[in-house]
């Protein structure tokens, strides 16, 4: 019998996250204070984050133990399965061996709960009563709603107004888990009211929502801010995915030649690839190829300069050294809402600079074509974000057919597409349109790149 899913028992689940910082061949450029141009200190961040997470952000420890309470919650849906894609291999008639790590079986349907649960835990442990966050399409907001519910924290989610109106299911999911969710811009914050005063019909943006959530946290007692990607500690929590996948590949007596993941802020990709990347850095797996896939409509890694920029549109965050399309850039409305972010996690940007990863930008129509191909051969209906990784995984498998090489390809399948079916409908009915690289808009946004004080 060929094994279709490589499973781990709960006892085989990793008990530490993997922190790549001490293994980097060159250190990560520091995060800078926008006022002074000096590296931020833990003290600068403590109004927004619990000290445990701030310490993880800069930690020199390679292995960071996962507290037992977090492990207990992980066990509700973890370890997740690693699948061998026999159906897809057959459909492609490829000699490649394709595996995928599937995170869609979590209660929120994606990898996001891996960090949501951890962030809720550490905030609770430091006596915080309430969190504020933003969400675009709603994947992050619903994951954090679940995390806060499990630890008895209140949660307020500022959801980009267009998504709030067009994707009510994610909003209801958050409410079912007990969170409060409002459309952003809202009248609940000064930032929101300022926007509404200028434009009462503002559709909102992730940047506005971040400003609202940060202001909310800064102006409410016992309230912290929480972010679902980009930062080191978020990617750290996601390494549970890659650590499990490594053990599972080992059980299958295999090791990937190629790993593919999609990138928005970078947390799903980083979490999957970093444990394998260590082997590449150490010279044990020099030929390992790691490919990050982003949308053509928002190609930060492939088209954005590597520069210091703000994490949010309003310019309230510290300065991050990253590939960026400019913090005022508003991406076209592609359906992969989780990939519509102007910047890229500093650590992923650093990997790219060091030549540890490759990057590709894809158009959404061929991405949906790949998603449907996957659904029709593997049964699982992927999120549009995950379908970006599938697209490139299929391209690589077809290259194997061409060359006759039997490579081992590992695809990160970050979530299911149950809430994205209207996008599939558009694709299937031929109405889905493509957005090329928005060169003019990016050029304009890049003029907003901030100067680093004292540089």
Binding site for a copy of itself (CB under 8 A): 1-5, 7, 9-11, 72-73, 75-77, 83, 86-87, 105, 107, 109, 146, 149-150, 168-169, 172-173, 175-178, 372, 375-376, 378-381, 418-419, 421-422, 424-425, 428
Nearest to a copy of itself of 86, 255 (CB atom): 86
Nearest to a copy of itself of 72, 354 (CB atom): 72
Under 8 Å between Cβ of 336 and 368: no
How near is the Cβ of 181 to a copy of itself at its closest, in Å?
Answer: 11
Distance CA 302, CA 370 (A): 21
Residue position matching structure tokens 């808009």: 441
How near is the Cβ of 428 to a copy of itself at its closest, in Å?
Answer: 5
Nearest to a copy of itself of 352, 419 (CB atom): 419
How near is the Cβ of 156 to a copy of itself at its closest, in Å?
Answer: 16
Nearest to a copy of itself of 26, 68 (CB atom): 68
Structure-block tokens of residue 202: 């503002």
Distance CA 396, CA 416 (A): 22
How near is the Cβ of 220 to a copy of itself at its closest, in Å?
Answer: 23
Q: What is the DSSP string of 365-405?
A: HHHHHHHHHHHHHHS--B-HHHHHHHHHHHHHHHHHHHHT-
Structure-block tokens of residue 277: 């990347």
Under 8 Å between Cβ of 277 and 285: no
How near is the Cβ of 435 to a copy of itself at its closest, in Å?
Answer: 22
Residue whose C-alpha is closest to residue 312's, from 172, 160, 187, 201: 160
Nearest to a copy of itself of 54, 146 (CB atom): 146
Nearest to a copy of itself of 16, 59 (CB atom): 16
Under 8 Å between Cβ of 362 and 392: yes
Residue whose C-alpha is closest to residue 273's, from 232, 242, 245, 233: 242
Strand partners, 289: 258
Distance CA 145, CA 133 (A): 10
Under 8 Å between Cβ of 144 and 132: no
Nearest to a copy of itself of 76, 451 (CB atom): 76
How near is the Cβ of 415 to a copy of itself at its closest, in Å?
Answer: 12
How near is the Cβ of 387 to a copy of itself at its closest, in Å?
Answer: 12
Nearest to a copy of itself of 376, 405 (CB atom): 376
Q: DSSP H helical segments within 184-340, as ranges? A: 190-198, 206-219, 232-251, 267-281, 300-303
How near is the Cβ of 380 to a copy of itself at its closest, in Å?
Answer: 5
């Amino acid at each position: 019998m060929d094994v279709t899913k490589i499973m781990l028992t709960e006892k085989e689940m990793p008990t530490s996250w993997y922190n790549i910082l001490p293994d980097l061949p060159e250190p990560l450029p520091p995060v800078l204070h926008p006022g002074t141009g000096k590296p931020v200190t833990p003290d600068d961040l403590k109004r927004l984050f619990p000290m445990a997470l701030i310490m993880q952000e800069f930690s020199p420890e390679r292995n960071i133990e996962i507290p037992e309470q977090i492990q207990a919650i992980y066990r509700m849906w973890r370890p997740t399965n690693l699948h061998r894609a026999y159906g897809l291999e057959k459909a492609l008639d490829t000699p490649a061996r394709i595996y995928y790590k599937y995170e869609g079986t979590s209660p929120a349907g994606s990898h996001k709960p891996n960090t949501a649960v951890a962030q809720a835990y550490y905030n609770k442990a430091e006596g915080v009563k309430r969190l504020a966050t933003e969400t675009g399409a709603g994947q992050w907001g619903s994951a954090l709603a679940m995390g806060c519910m499990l630890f008895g924290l209140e949660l307020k989610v500022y959801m980009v107004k267009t998504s709030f109106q067009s994707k009510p299911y994610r909003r209801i999911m958050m409410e079912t888990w007990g969170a409060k969710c409002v459309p952003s811009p809202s009248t609940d914050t000064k930032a929101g009211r300022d926007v509404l005063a200028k434009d009462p019909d503002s559709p909102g943006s992730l940047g506005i929502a971040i400003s609202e959530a940060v202001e909310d946290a800064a102006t409410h007692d016992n309230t912290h801010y929480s972010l679902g990607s980009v930062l080191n500690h978020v990617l750290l929590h996601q390494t549970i995915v890659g650590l499990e996948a490594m053990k599972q590949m080992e059980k299958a007596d295999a090791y990937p030649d190629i790993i593919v993941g999609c990138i928005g802020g970078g947390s799903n990709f980083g979490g999957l690839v970093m444990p394998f990347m260590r082997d590449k850095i150490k010279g044990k797996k020099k030929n390992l190829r790691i490919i990050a896939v982003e949308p053509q409509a928002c190609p930060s890694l492939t088209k954005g300069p590597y520069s210091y920029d703000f994490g949010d549109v309003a310019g309230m965050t510290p300065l991050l050294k990253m590939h960026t399309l400019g913090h005022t850039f508003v991406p076209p409305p592609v359906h992969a809402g989780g990939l519509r972010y102007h910047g890229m996690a500093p650590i992923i940007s650093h990997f790219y600079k060091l030549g540890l990863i490759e990057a590709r930008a894809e158009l959404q129509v061929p991405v949906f074509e790949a998603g449907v191909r996957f659904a029709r051969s593997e049964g699982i209906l992927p999120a549009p974000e995950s379908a970006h990784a599938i697209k490139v995984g299929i391209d690589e498998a077809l290259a194997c057919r061409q060359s006759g090489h039997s490579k081992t390809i590992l695809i990160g399948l970050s979530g299911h597409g149950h809430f994205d079916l209207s996008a599939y409908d558009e694709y299937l009915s031929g109405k889905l349109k493509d957005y090329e690289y928005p060169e003019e808009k990016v050029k304009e946004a890049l003029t907003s790149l901030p100067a680093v004080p004292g540089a």
